[in-house]
Amino acid sequence: MNTSWVDTSLDLNHSSARPLRLETPKKEQPNGNLIVFGKRLSVKEETGALAEELSRVNAENKKLTEMLSAMCESYNALQSQVMDLMSKNPEKELSPSKKRKSENNNDNNYNFGIVGNSESSSTDEDSCKKPREEVIKAKVTRVYVRTETSDGLIVKDGYQWRKYGQKVTRDNPSPRAYFRCSFAPSCPVKKKVQRSADDQSVMVATYEGEHNHLPPSQMEPASGSSHGSASLNPSGPTMSLGVTKCKPSDGGEARNSSSSKPEMDSPQVRKHLVEQMATSLTKDPNFTAALAAAISGRMFSAKSN
């Protein structure tokens, strides 16, 4: 099971849709001088400006690295909390009233709350504990989306969805919306979207199944930006901010080959996961492009002030 954390306030994909302009001055001027932001500079000034920008970019890079490591640390802390909880409450923490067949198959991690807690609780052990029930056929992915806006139960993920129901559930005052992929019935994917009971600014999107088609944004590149803001993609090939990549989820593809029985408490494994997360982020062209765009955007705003 996948669980992704996406902070829509970052909106990286959206940023990456912009043409990447790192504004590295190029020696286009025949006289050796440069026009930087409309200003003609001498070679010395250019060197100074470049050095200044370099240091600024370095500082930015350092800041981002710190943010990344902080993210990983908090993730690890949460992970260990989950492990503690799981060891204290070996299996049956669900309130009896919630025990529906499908929920037992798919959502037996609700009892651990939000943010990363749900992952790694749904392993093959669960299916072993319930030999009577069918093994999960549809891949279930849970995605957490932090959204500052209150524009309904909308989680943009690049796919088109058709809403077919809405319910107020017992354990959460905010309504839960039910979506089917608009390519249904050929595409069996369903999605449930509900605001987190703990944090109303967090949307919890639960995907069931996998798309058997490309997202419309990729099938029609020209219209891609229309779906692209706050883009997250639980099963598709596009980028989802890789916090989940730290964990041995079933949807983690090749990022963690030891997904069968991970020992999350091992410091080596943790370190390895952090490294994998960092490399998967840096390898992702979308992420690097978005990062570069964000940096250049900051440089622009700094310059204009």
> By C-beta, is 159 or 287 nearer to DNA?
159
Decide: 144 and 5 in contact? Cβ < 8 Å. Answer: yes
- Determine if 171 is a binding residue for DNA (CB under 7 A): yes
What is the rounded distance in angstroms from the CA atom of residue 209 to the CA atom of residue 181?
10
183 touches DNA by CB under 7 A? no
Q: Which helix (H) or strand (E) holds 56?
A: helix 43-88
Cβ atoms of 290 and 12 within 8 Å: the answer is yes
Residue 92 binds DNA (CB under 7 A): no
- Provide the β-strand partners of residue 5: 144
Q: Taking CB under 7 A as the rule, which mask of x and - marks residues 191-230 in contact with DNA?
A: -x--------------------------------------
d(CA 236, CA 214): 7
Residue 231: CB minimum distance to DNA, A: 17
Residue 272, interface with DNA (CB under 7 A)?
no
Position among 54, 80, 164, 226 found at the interface with DNA (CB under 7 A):
164
**8-state DSSP, 9:** T
- Complex with DNA: residue 165 or 297, whichever CB lies closer: 165
Compute the least distance from the CB of residue 103 to DNA, in Å: 6
In whole angstroms, what is the distance from residue 224 CA to residue 176 CA? 27
* Count of beta carbons in the 10 Å neighbourhood of residue 279: 13
- How many of the chain's residues bind DNA (CB under 7 A)? 27
165 forms bridges with which residues in the sheet? 178
Which x/- pattern, by CB under 7 A, does the window 110-139 give for DNA? ------------------------------
The smaller minimum CB distance to DNA, of residues 105 and 240, is found at: 105
Distance of CA 180 to the CA centre of its chain: 21
- What's the CA gap between 247 and 239, in Å, rounded? 16
Residue 164 or 300 with smaller CB distance to DNA? 164
Report the relative pairing of strands 2-7 and 175-181 from DSSP bridges: unpaired
Q: Smaller CB distance to DNA: residue 144 or 287?
A: 144
Binding DNA (rule: CB under 7 A), the pick from 142, 190, 211, 270 is 190
Binding site for DNA (CB under 7 A): 96-104, 107, 152, 161-167, 169-171, 176-178, 182, 190, 192
